[in-house]
């Protein structure tokens, strides 16, 4: 008597394990069919080995190039930020020098006017 496996409606996928096991046992029992199947599986594994190696190399180099592009992008953004900061600082320094020059000229005008006035002598 076979033990019954409980089947839940949520877990039922339509895949019958017992039928698959019986089909595999029948296939293994016939020698020529099993030899053909194993030779085909061997050929497929040899062909798929190259495909797997190429896919692994593609994935590896994709990750490496993506990392390199991220690093280059970060360096480019840092360079642009430093360039913009230098331009802003140069503009601010021009304003500071302009104010300093104006205040020194203004101060010189006041000091020379006070010195050359009627009370200077």
Structural domain contains residue 35: yes
| Domains: count for the chain | 1
Tell me the residue range of the domain where 41 lies: 17-115
pLDDT at 114 over 80: no
DSSP labels for the chain? -PPPPP--TTT--S--HHHHHHHHHHHHHSHHHHHHHHHHHHHHHHHHHHHHHHHHHHHHHHHHHHHHHHHHHHHHHHHHHHHHHHHHHHHHHHHHHHHHHHHHHHHHHHHHHHHSSTT--
More confident residue, 112 or 103: 103
Structural domain contains residue 9: no
pLDDT category, 52, cuts 50, 70, 90?
A: confident
Burial class (CB in 10 A: 0-12, 13-18, 19+), 37: middle
CA distances from 26 to 13, 21, 22, 31, 40 (A): 24, 9, 6, 10, 18
User: Would you say 89 and 95 are in contact if contact means Cβ atoms under 8 Å apart?
Assistant: no
Structural domain contains residue 12: no
pLDDT category, 41, cuts 50, 70, 90?
A: confident
pLDDT at 88 over 90: yes
Q: What is the mean pLDDT of residues 50-62?
A: 90
14-18, 34-38, 53-57, 107-111, range with greatest mean pLDDT? 53-57
Structural domain contains residue 1: no
Structural domain contains residue 111: yes
pLDDT category, 118, cuts 50, 70, 90?
A: low
Structural domain contains residue 11: no
Structural domain contains residue 73: yes
- Residue 78 is predicted with a pLDDT of 97
pLDDT category, 36, cuts 50, 70, 90?
A: confident
To the question of pTM greater than 0.85 for the whole model, the response is no
């Amino acid at each position: 008597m076979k033990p019954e496996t409980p089947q839940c409606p949520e877990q039922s996928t339509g895949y019958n394990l017992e039928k698959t096991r019986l089909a595999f046992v029948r296939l293994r029992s016939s020698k020529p069919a099993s030899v053909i199947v194993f030779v085909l599986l061997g050929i497929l594994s040899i062909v798929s080995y190259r495909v797997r190696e190429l896919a692994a190399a593609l994935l590896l180099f994709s990750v490496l190039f993506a990392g390199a592009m991220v690093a280059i992008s970060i360096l480019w953004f840092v360079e642009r930020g430093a360039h913009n900061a230098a331009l802003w600082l140069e503009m601010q320094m021009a304003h500071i020098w302009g104010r300093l020059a104006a205040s020194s000229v203004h101060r010189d005008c006041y000091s020379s006017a006070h010195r050359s006035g009627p009370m200077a002598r």
